[in-house]
Amino acid sequence: MENKKVLLGMSGGVDSSVSAMLLKEKGYEVIGATLELYAENNNLESNSILEVKNICSSIGIPHYIYNCKEEFRKNIIQDFIECYLNCKTPNPCIECNKHMKFGFMWEKAKQLGCNYIATGHYAKTEYNKKYCRWVLKKSNAGKKDQSYVLWNIPKELIEHILFPLSNFENKDQIREIARNYNLKVANKPDSEDICFIPDGNYKKFLEKNSDIKPMNGNIVNSKGEILGKHTGLYNYTVGQRKGLGISYKVPLFVLGFNKTKNEVIVGEEKELYKKEILVRDINLLLVEEIKDWLEVKVKTRYSAKSAKARIIQEENDIKVIFDEPQRAITPGQSAVFYIDDIVLGGGKIK
């Protein structure tokens, strides 16, 4: 008899709450789990946990709270700081998915005798006969699809992951289900901020929680000519135009950084486009390695459209050659590779 016991990550939002209802409807034995992640979010987390407890109580499922603050600090916050120290732009949600939601939580699920874990992500898992394995796929949610932030999960875990929202096309459908079940979170707004920086001010967070402090330096063009002064490399990102404080004959954009010389490098928009990139820290979900050139589509940030490219593995990296040059590719962000709607894998842009 199949083990239909599932540990569901619940944040107090509408997505995970509706996920609980949908799983229960399908006959799963659902256990709610909330991860306490960040020490300074105590009030926010306490409110969310109370909401989750009330939801779990109303639908008749148990609820566990796990203190993960030390693991979160070590694996997510420290990585976030290290990226900015090295002039890279991180995506902490991707690290959180790897280490916490699909790492720590799977370990807890096994301890509870669960065969599955579930989240309210808009993504899909299914068995694929062509590849003879379980695959991670895009959901039906279009622009809200979240498969991009899941490339770094362990591939052996895919067959144990349930995404109850995989076939819904938009958030309005989820909110309607929540209203039908009289869930109080039906109209709760989406959280767009990084969970440990609720005010969105990452610069203030870095200054408070690391050795990163304002340090003036030169803004230069690609020829090395000094055009102005900057207030600290962490205050800028590739593709940025506003806030440079430079008067020039044409609009200028941040192209990159010279950490050794403490320089922000700027240039014209045409200089932002790249045809080739290297991707490190790769995680392949569909194949063991890429021995020959492979045609794929690549997303270089969550909000970007996928672009046609060819990829090949070079030792520990993947080389990507785009059919058309891509704008403002940013070191530290993820490049995620798709074959049709299946996630082949991904990595961090060098």
- Contact between 326 and 300 under an 8 Å Cβ cutoff? The reply is yes
Give the pLDDT of residue 42: 64
Give the pLDDT of residue 49: 86
- Which CATH code of 2.60.15.10, 3.90.550.10, 2.40.30.10, 2.60.40.1220 fits the domain covering 272-349? 2.40.30.10
Q: What is the mean pLDDT of the chain?
A: 95
Which residue of the set 87, 93, 114, 195 is catalytic?
A: 195
Q: Where are the domains of the chain?
A: 5-180, 214-267, 272-349
For the stretch 265-297, pLDDT in tens is 999 999 999 999 999 999 999 999 999 999 999
Give pTM, 2 decimals: 0.95
pLDDT band at residue 187 under the 50/70/90 scheme = confident
Backbone phi, psi, residue 206, to 5°: -65, -45
Which residue of the set 68, 87, 96, 114 is catalytic?
A: 96
Whether domain 5-180 has CATH 3.40.50.300: no
Q: Does the annotation count 83 as an active-site position?
A: no
- Tell me how far apart the alpha carbons of residues 230 and 285 are, in angstroms, rounded to a whole number: 41
Give the pLDDT of residue 198: 87
Reported CATH class of domain 214-267: mainly beta
Give the pLDDT of residue 45: 67
Q: Does the annotation count 68 as an active-site position?
A: no
